[in-house]
Structure 1
Amino acid sequence: MPKSTKYIAKEADRDGRINYSVQDDAVWHDLVLQQQPNVNRFAADEYLAGQRKLDLPKDRVPQCVEVSKQLRELTGWRVRPVPALIGFAQFFAMLADNTFPAASFIRSREDFDYIEEPDIFHEIYGHTPLLTDKRFAKFSEMIGKTGLECEKADYSWLIRLYWFTIEFGLIRQGNEIKALGSGLASSPTELIYSIEDETAIRKPFDVIDILRTPYRIDIHQPIYFVLDDADQLFEASDRNLLEDIHTAQRLGLHAPAYPPKQPLEQKAS
């Protein structure tokens, strides 16, 4: 995650509601208008089914308390507003408690097509549809509980499993590859890139391979992992992930498939 942000978290009132502006609601509306046609085309069946269950508003930013009410009835989860940036320890603790942390602000028009840090559009539009499914909810809870057992040095290894599945995972459905990850569902450009671009590397799902694969948050992923079916992910919930992490650490990280990020002063003007 980015180390800093220009955005300021919005505070919820005593009822858990946030006073979003007319401009905020307009950004949400326009993001949904832009994204939904491609989601209908490229997203996995499980994601689309979750969208239908939630039936999120299209003309305004949804309130976390509204979404939480629906999720509690379906899977026992809830959504809680948090500042834009939280640490791994807090993130894992919240997942273990069946609570999804949602950054409370929405991106500006300036960042309409790409924002490095997660905003409420990514959190609600991207993540909550999968949390309507008990299987994906269980996997997210397992990631959180494993995080509570990890040493701090293990956090960056564990988070790769979440990153390459819940955030940027792909899945085979029939003769096609579809987008499962929430980061893809909320991205105007990477959703299409992940499915159609010939330069993207698509590898079979393998837990140890994933744990050894470094990533960058500020570019389209050069590598995606493809599930043959959703049961592969749910079977991972029963693995000893601490043992998997230690195995991956002994084997070491793969060489990055992306160029190193240049310091700002070295970038071409």
Structure 2
Amino acid sequence: MLHRAIATVAEPHSWQDYVVPQQWEAFTADDHAVWDLLFVRQVDLLGTRVVTSFLDGIDLLRLSRPGVPDLGELNAILTPRTAWRTVAVTGLVPDDIFFAMLAARVFPVGNFIRKRAELDYLEEPDCFHDLFGHIPMLADHDFAGMAEHIGRLGEAAIAAGQGERAARLYWHSVEFGLACEGEALKILGAGLASSFGEAHFSLESEAVERLPFSVERAVATDYKHDAFQPRYLVSRSLEATIAEVMALTPERLLTI
């Protein structure tokens, strides 16, 4: 996925080739216990520091139930609501495949969970990052539409050999975006919502830049995929982020 690497050459596969069974029954009792520990810890950490749609999504999708979510049960709620569905993958997928999945309203979820020794950091995001960080927002109709649109933008950008433009847009909105909600600064991005260390850092550290979000700035702003970010882009609101991204055409993305 995009927050780990940028693929510059499209591979001759369809996204369906990367889908595997979740094998939910293979998760051990300790795997389920790790999910429960991560979930409770992150919910307590976030409190109300995340946009309301995220908290609504957790409730709507019943993610607070004990244990690693079963994707079939999750899809039974998510798909009728926003036409998105989750599928299991074994690990990273190339960016062309990832964007194609988003364009089809399909979100890839790692079929593994971190070990207790890796609670705070692991190189390859697991099902906790994917499910806790991303899926609650896909229960929001408008955000769900934006995520699909970014997938289509990504397909066009990769076809033109400029996939990094869409990757940066995705990063500074879906993964590590911040947004105002009323008078409060809130977490929007999944990478922040699922991170124990960076959630508060992004909101409170005096060592980072917080710049106004625009699609032009997002497309032009580099990022780090292996460390806390040196800067975050802040939208006027979740709705403003969605509106601005939805107004972006592939042609304009390629000429910003």
Distance 2:174 2:123 in 1: 17
In the TM superposition, 1:88-237 aligns within 5 A as: 88-150=95-157, 151=159, 153-235=161-243, 236-237=245-246
Deviates more, 1:183-192 or 1:47-56: 47-56
Letter in 2 for 1:67: L
Deviation at 1:152, TM superposition (A): 5.8
Matched, 1:12 2:21: yes
- Count of residues in Structure 1 that have an aligned counterpart in Structure 2: 240
| TM-score, reference length from structure 2 | 0.88
Q: CA deviation at 1:110?
A: 1.9
- Deviations for 1:79-120, whole angstroms, at most 9, x for unmatched residues? 000121100111011111110011111011221111222110
The change in CA–CA distance for 1:138 and 1:11 in structure 2 (over 3 A counts) is closer
Match status 1:246 vs 2:255? yes
Highest Rg: 1 or 2?
A: 1
Secondary structure of 1:105 counterpart: coil
C-alpha separation in 1, matches of 2:92 and 2:160:
17
Change (3 A) 1:39 1:58: farther
| Counterpart residue number, 1:250 | none
**Residues 1:61 and 2:68 are matched in the alignment:** yes
| SS of residue paired to 1:12 | coil
Give 3-state SS (helix, strand or coil) of 2:121's partner: coil
Q: Which moved more, 1:177-186 or 1:47-56?
A: 47-56
Q: Does 1:75 align with 2:49?
A: no
Deviation of the 1:148 alpha carbon: 2.1
The answer for the alignment partner of 1:252 in structure 2 is none
- The 5 Å alignment of 1:248-267 reads none
Amino acid at match of 2:78: L
The answer on whether the counterparts of 1:172 and 1:227 sit within 8 Å (CA) in structure 2 is: yes
Q: Distance in 2 between matches of 1:141 and 1:175?
A: 29
Asked if 2 retains the 8 angstrom alpha-carbon contact of 1:12 and 1:18, the reply is no
> Structure 2: which 5+ runs fail to align?
6-17
Using the alignment, how far apart are the partners of 1:62 and 1:198 within structure 2? 37
Deviation string, structure 1 residues 196-215 (Cα, Å, up to 9, x no partner) = 11112111011111111111
**2-side partners of 1:170 and 1:244: how far apart?**
21
Report how far residue 231 of structure 1 moved.
2.3
| Superposed counterparts of 1:37-56, under 5 Å | 37-56=44-63
CA contact (8 A) 2:19 2:87 kept: no
Stretch of structure 1 that moved more, 144-153 or 213-222? 144-153
Partner Cα separation in structure 1 for residue 255 and residue 25 of structure 2: 42
**In structure 2, do the counterparts of structure 1 residues 148 and 32 end up closer, same or farther at CA, with 3 Å as the change threshold?**
same
CA distance in 2, matches of 1:99, 1:244: 23
How far did residue 18 of structure 1 move?
4.6
